[in-house]
Chains A and B, each alone.
Chain A
């Protein structure tokens, strides 16, 4: 798997590069500022770009903007955005094109190498990986608008785990139910959100988007 890495802190960049290399990824470019990042993403067309939000030159949201710009040029380019904090607003912007292949995680998640690499693989494969903190905030709201408001608490729980990027098998394991029960929940969710039958991966992305947009 070919990876472009965008992170301005040298220690973190090296650490992440080492971690990715150790797990069989090839880091084709590791850069520390926005123009270089955008150039690298467009030049290398990597299997995934792992990008920090805050970067030089202005230390605001360059990384995010570079990721969005690159996805505009190369639709569906898988991007995993890591940050010191997560914002629902940014999550929505990342998912807005509905093309999938998007992850948005706290930097802390890098600590758990296995989980992090798992997220990288999922995003590279066109799935999503939303940080549990984004999901937790959404669940905390309670009141929801149509059509997400019509979901049962159980279905909401499944949708939350789906947004984190878990497969049906993983969700079943987490919720201690059978995989068939999860499959039933997911098809209910798709029906309630008016998502027409199509490629399952794509529907999962759309469901997450509806979830974040409520």
Chain B
């Protein structure tokens, strides 16, 4: 019995090792050369893209360039992003997209002027020029590196083929060179004997197998130097992030302190005061119990009423701190409960995998609560849709109403008398603590769509702060 078990234990890791070994050599001998070929192809394509951009640019003065150049730049961006995707898929190297965001008014501007300003925005982005330089380098140095990765293994195989068919080749009087070996005369009269092709072929095969992945890796590294953010851009992004963290941390501390003050005040003026009154009433009732039972009874009734009031106040307080449904059921049902409590007709769709982080749940809950209150107060809406969705490490909340629109997070440019600005800014600040972002789309006349996104893995540092 024990020996069988032992042999099983031996066999399993052994098989796993064989599997890994096979996968590694498949990568070396097949995958890397194929990737090399693909990179050669993309390199040649990039030269074409370079040519297109240059030609389109030179046609600017004629006018046709104004149409062609944006198209060529789309092609350029497409090629660069393709290279970034391949880098991640093939080597796991992540190349960020360091393009500057196009300002919203420029992106939405219409007509000829809009087209020109978008083009200018793209051309003033240093990364566009770096992309262009990359196409040329990729088409030259890149292709050279890729070609090495693509051909070394094949050349090794070719060596074996030549060695095997040497007699036939010699019989036909062929004049071939394989490396430094002259194939074409009878064996023995050549500068090297027949087995030389096997040795050279094997050397290429092994060399190619080891060099292939390294060459692909080198290619991607070179790409990432040019297509990734510059040191300055990195620095700027980090400073931006530090500034934002400082700001949101200050907000979080302020909010929390204000909350604690509110709770303290509510307890002090509410439940605590009522308990004191109850204690006094009970004491008085105790003293009166023997001699004036009627008066004592009245005091007891009063004490009971006070206890009921204290409970009501505590209930409201608890609801404001952490709603019981949220604790019981999580965000989905808590938002459904909010929808039931809203005077508006609220449709809720929930697509969440179980429970989220408690702090995020709470922030999202109060954000939705505030949004619904806002809609009820200002939007003159009939129906509201709230969608909760979770994917790729982010919680997304969308709140759409059919009201009159004109909401803005900025506050200053909100419609006068609308008063939605400060509420939305407050929501943005609060979810900002979790690196959450808010997008408001609310044209005058409606409809209003407000989207919140909160990353749920708190350790994740990747956020878009634009």
Contacts and interface: CB of A to CB of B under 8 A. Distances in A.
Interface string B282-326: 000000000000000000000010011001100100110000110
B343 A111 contact: no
Interface stretch (A14-22, A140-148, A177-185): A140-148
Interface residues of B, number: 22
A85 B345 contact: no
Interface in B25-82: none
A60 B328 contact: yes
A81 to B, nearest CB: 13
B304 A137 contact: no
B343 to A, nearest CB: 5
A60 B343 contact: no
A201 interface: no
A137 B341 CA distance: 7
Contacts of A141: 342-343
Given A141-B343, A145-B345, A87 B325 contact: yes
Contacts of A89: 325, 333, 336-337, 340
Contacts of B333: 89
Contacts of B24: none
B329 to A, nearest CB: 7
B324 A87 contact: yes
B327 interface: yes
A166 interface: no
Interface string A105-148: 01110010000000000000000000000000100111101000
A25 B296 CA distance: 30
A87 B337 contact: yes
B341 A54 contact: no
Contacts of A61: 328-329
Nearest to A92: B340
Nearest to B334: A89
A142 B343 contact: yes
A92 B337 CA distance: 10
A87 B327 CA distance: 13
B315 A84 contact: yes
B318 A85 contact: yes
Contacts of B325: 87, 89-90
Contacts of A90: 325
B328 A85 contact: no
Contact of A60 (B311, B327, B337): B327
Contact of A143 (B308, B312, B324, B343): B343
Contacts of A108: 308, 311-312
B341 A85 contact: no
Contacts of B312: 108
Interface in B321-366: 324-325, 327-329, 333, 336-337, 340-345
A167 interface: no
Given A84-B315, A145-B345, A54 B337 contact: no
Contacts of B318: 84-85
Nearest to A145: B345
Interface in A142-183: 142-143, 145
Contacts of B342: 141
Contacts of A140: 343
Contacts of B345: 143, 145
A111 B307 contact: yes
A169 B203 CA distance: 103
B324 A84 contact: yes
Counting chain A CB atoms within 10 Å of each CB, which of B312, B341, B342 scores highest?
A: B341
A108 B304 CA distance: 10
B105 to A, nearest CB: 38
A61 B318 CA distance: 16
A85 B325 CA distance: 10
Nearest to B310: A108
A88 interface: yes
A141 B340 CA distance: 10
Nearest to B312: A108
B304 A111 contact: yes
A92 B333 CA distance: 12
A95 B377 CA distance: 31
11 contacts: A53-B328, A60-B329, A87-B324, A89-B325, A89-B333, A89-B337, A108-B312, A111-B304, A111-B307, A141-B342, A145-B345
The 6 A-B pairs at the shortest CB distance, nearest first, are namely A60-B328, A61-B328, A89-B337, A88-B340, A141-B343, A108-B308
Given A84-B318, A85-B318, A87-B337, 4 more contacts: A89-B325, A90-B325, A106-B311, A111-B308
Interface of A: 53-54, 60-61, 84-85, 87-90, 92, 106-108, 111, 137, 140-143, 145
